[in-house]
Structure 1
Amino acid sequence: MDRLLRTRVGARDPVRRVAFAAGIVFLVVGALGFVPGVTTGWDTIEPAGHSSHAMLLGMFATSVLHNVIHLTFGVLGLVASRTARGSALFLALGGVAYLLLWAYGLATPDESALNALPVNAADDWLHLALGVAMITALLVTRRPEPRHARAAPPPPG
């Protein structure tokens, strides 16, 4: 009974729910990147690089590599959501990764050979929003340390 109760309480852990939801969103976005119509210029999609002119929702530059990264991130989010610690790690590292990707996008010209994913201005600002959202979600959903878990001062004497 105790195990069942812990499982149900753990399943309601907000950080786990956020990581799970983020994983689902990344899976959906990654899959949509392979759908003609949702991805405009589908016939121009490339495995990687700036020469891919496919645009997810007609706005976000995409390639096979870009879509596979989203799918991989989605799977990682679902796996990480199995534990609160894994979820927190996913949100923290994912948030940092997206902030680094934002900086990469700002520093890399769209038509540069260094633009391997590819990314464009819309991607850059979405990556900033994702990085901030993931880190904010972690900070908002983390649990404070329970009072009884803190070390008690040693007894006098």
Structure 2
Amino acid sequence: MQAKRTGTQNFALIIGIMYLLVGLMGFIPAFVRAPIVSPEAAGLGFTGGYGYLMGLFPINALHNIIHVLVGILGIAASISLDSSRLFSGVLALFYGALTLMGLFPPTQSTLGLVPIFGNDVWLHAGTAAIAAYFGFIATPNLLELGGETSQSPTGSES
């Protein structure tokens, strides 16, 4: 009998699929609008594919590659509870750091490589908050792990 998937595994799978799709969309010109802020004003040295995904989120080719990698890692991590918790915890730290970097103009271009300003800041903050819950706070109960009966403290089944 196959064990049921936990909420943490589902989170890793869902966030993985979302980030994979967003990363791939960034390479499709129909989803990318012309930049609102010029690459020079944004502090970008790498301008390949620079624009706004769905007109909202500043991206470039490197940003898209990062999203694709995060997506693939999330999908792969969803296979087990331990790997999905690790993925969620690391994702929380990574996107939490990106959120902080996106708040300060000197770090909003990630050393001139990836734009992380504007709507990216709140998206990264939301991702970090949800990932922190699944990586550090959520604990699976026995039923989520596939146990069909539970034991009371006295050892009898309930």
TM-score norm. by structure 1 comes to 0.75
2-side partners of 1:108 and 1:93: how far apart?
Answer: 24
State the percentage of identical aligned residues: 29
Structure with the bigger RCO (C-alpha within 8 Å, sep 6+) is 2
1-side partners of 2:127 and 2:14: how far apart?
Answer: 13
1:99 partnered with 2:96: yes
2-side partners of 1:77 and 1:35: how far apart?
Answer: 22
Which blocks of at least 5 consecutive residues in structure 2 are unaligned? 144-149, 152-158
Cα shift at 1:50? 2.1
Cα shift at 1:120? 1.6
- The SS at the match of 1:55 is strand
User: In structure 2, do the counterparts of structure 1 residues 101 and 112 end up closer, same or farther at CA, with 3 Å as the change threshold?
Assistant: closer
TM-score norm. by structure 2 comes to 0.74
Measured on the aligned residues, the alpha-carbon RMSD in Å equals 2.8
Contact 1:32–1:38 under 8 Å retained in 2: yes
- The SS at the match of 1:66 is helix
Identify the structure with the greater helix proportion. Answer: 1
User: In structure 2, do the counterparts of structure 1 residues 144 and 117 end up closer, same or farther at CA, with 3 Å as the change threshold?
Assistant: same
2-side partners of 1:107 and 1:69: how far apart?
Answer: 21
Aligned partner of 1:72: which letter?
A: L
The size of the alignment, in residue pairs, is: 137
Contact 2:102–2:108 under 8 Å retained in 1: no
Contact 1:23–1:78 under 8 Å retained in 2: yes
